[in-house]
């Protein structure tokens, strides 16, 4: 039997990965993409969620509006950042409610951040309790065995 340096056979790793409760992370990513498309008019080209300890991290790439790209080309990053922050402030109640519904956990605070070059939006939700081992397992499996765990559906991000 062939094994890797960690002593786990590829078949064993696949078996472990197939038992991961990864559906929640993908559902979270999909719902965030839907919210961006519905309320902002355009969604990210990639999105992936991570559940770690007492927080949920959603990383979204691309999807800037033409007006935002124009402003960025003109060196107006502060205006784009302020506009996005105002939008996220208005969306916070809706986004928190959706994430609480999906996870079944209470969220105590939420923050959004936009980064440029590359264009990335990060959504961070903090829960009132740490994740259970089962809740965090999908993120672990994503990092170790299957990077696609937690990604939004391609049909949503295209």
Tens of pLDDT, residue by residue over 40-97, are 888 899 999 999 999 999 999 998 999 999 999 999 999 999 999 999 899 999 999 9
In this model, does residue 14 exceed pLDDT 80? no
Look at the chain and count its residues.
158
Residues above pLDDT 90, as percent of the chain: 59
138 neighbors 22 (Cβ within 8 angstroms): yes
In the three-class reduction of DSSP (H, G, I as helix; E, B as strand; rest coil), residue 126 is classed as strand
- Determine the average pLDDT of the residues in 107-115: 95
Residue 40, pLDDT score: 87
Scan for tokens 């409760």, then name that residue.
21
Identify the pLDDT of residue 5: 45
Our measurement of the distance from residue 116's CA atom to the centroid of its chain's CA atoms, rounded to an integer in Å, reads: 17
Residue 1, pLDDT above cutoff 90:
no
pTM of the model: 0.81
To the nearest whole number, what is the mean pLDDT of the chain? 85
Strands 120-127 and 107-115: antiparallel
The Cα–Cα gap between 97 and 133 comes to 23
């Amino acid at each position: 039997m062939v094994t890797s340096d960690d002593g786990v056979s590829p078949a064993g790793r696949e078996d472990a990965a197939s038992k991961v409760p990864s559906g929640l992370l993908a559902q979270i990513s999909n719902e965030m993409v839907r919210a961006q498309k519905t309320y902002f008019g355009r969604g990210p080209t990639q999105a992936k969620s991570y559940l770690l300890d007492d927080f949920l991290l959603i990383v979204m790439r691309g999807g800037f509006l033409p007006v935002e790209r124009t402003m960025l080309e003109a060196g107006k990053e502060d205006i784009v950042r302020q506009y996005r922050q105002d939008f996220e402030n208005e969306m916070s109640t809706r986004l928190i409610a959706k994430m609480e519904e999906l996870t079944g956990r209470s969220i105590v605070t939420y923050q959004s951040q936009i980064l440029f070059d590359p264009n990335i939006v990060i959504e961070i939700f903090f829960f009132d309790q740490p994740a259970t081992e089962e809740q965090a397992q999908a993120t672990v499996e994503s990092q170790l065995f299957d990077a696609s765990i937690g990604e939004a559906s391609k049909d949503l991000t295209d």
